[in-house]
Amino acid sequence: MRLARLRVSLLLVVTCSTLAHLVIGSNLGQAIGVGALLLYLLTLGGQLTTMAKGLLFAAGALSLIALWRAPMPALLLFEAGSRFAFFATFVVALSMLRLPAYRSRLVRRCGQCMLLQPPSRRYPILSLGSALFGIILNIGVLNLFAGMIEKSNTLEAAQGRTWVREARQRRMMLGLLRGFSLAPLISPMGIGVAVVLSSLPQITWLELAPYILGAAVLIFLTGWVVDFLTGPHPAAGRRRALSLSPFPSLQPLAQFSGLLFGIVTLVFFIAWLLTLRLPIAALLGAPLGALIWLAWQRRRLGYAGVPAAISAVHRQLPWLLSPSANEIVVLGAAGYLGHLCVGLMDVHQLAPLLSILNQWGAFNAVIAMLMVVGLAQLGINPIVTVTLLVGLLPSLAIEGLSPPMIGASLMVGWALALMSSPMTASMLILSRFTGVSATHIGYRWNGKFLTAAIPILAMWFIWSPF
User: pTM for the full model?
Assistant: 0.84
Contact 212, 185 (CB under 8 A): yes
What pLDDT was estimated at residue 246?
A: 57
- List the chain domain ranges: 2-96+323-462, 99-200+249-320
Tens digit of each residue's pLDDT, the chain (466 residues): 578 888 889 999 999 999 999 998 888 989 999 999 999 999 987 778 887 888 899 999 999 999 988 888 899 999 999 999 999 998 888 888 888 887 788 887 877 777 777 777 888 988 988 888 888 877 777 877 887 777 767 667 667 777 777 888 888 889 989 999 998 898 888 888 888 988 888 899 999 999 999 999 999 999 999 998 886 765 554 545 444 445 677 788 888 889 888 998 999 999 999 999 888 998 999 899 999 999 998 888 888 889 998 998 888 888 888 878 888 888 888 888 888 887 887 666 666 666 677 778 788 899 999 999 999 998 888 888 888 888 778 777 777 788 899 999 999 999 999 999 988 878 888 888 888 898 999 999 999 999 999 999 999 998 877 6
What pLDDT was estimated at residue 237?
A: 47
HEC profile of 313-356: HHHHHHHHHHHHHHHHHHHHHHHHHHHHHHHHCCHHHHHHHHHH
Report the C-alpha gap between 230 and 225 in whole angstroms.
9
Report the C-alpha gap between 435 and 438 in whole angstroms.
9
Report the C-alpha gap between 37 and 23 in whole angstroms.
19
What pLDDT was estimated at residue 235?
A: 56
For Cα atoms 420, 425, 430, give the angle at the middle one, nearest 5 degrees: 70
For Cα atoms 171, 175, 178, give the angle at the middle one, nearest 5 degrees: 135
Tell me which H or E stretch contains 437: none
Question: Left if phi > 0, otherwise alpha if psi is -120 to 50, otherwise beta: which for 76?
Answer: alpha
Contact 199, 387 (CB under 8 A): yes
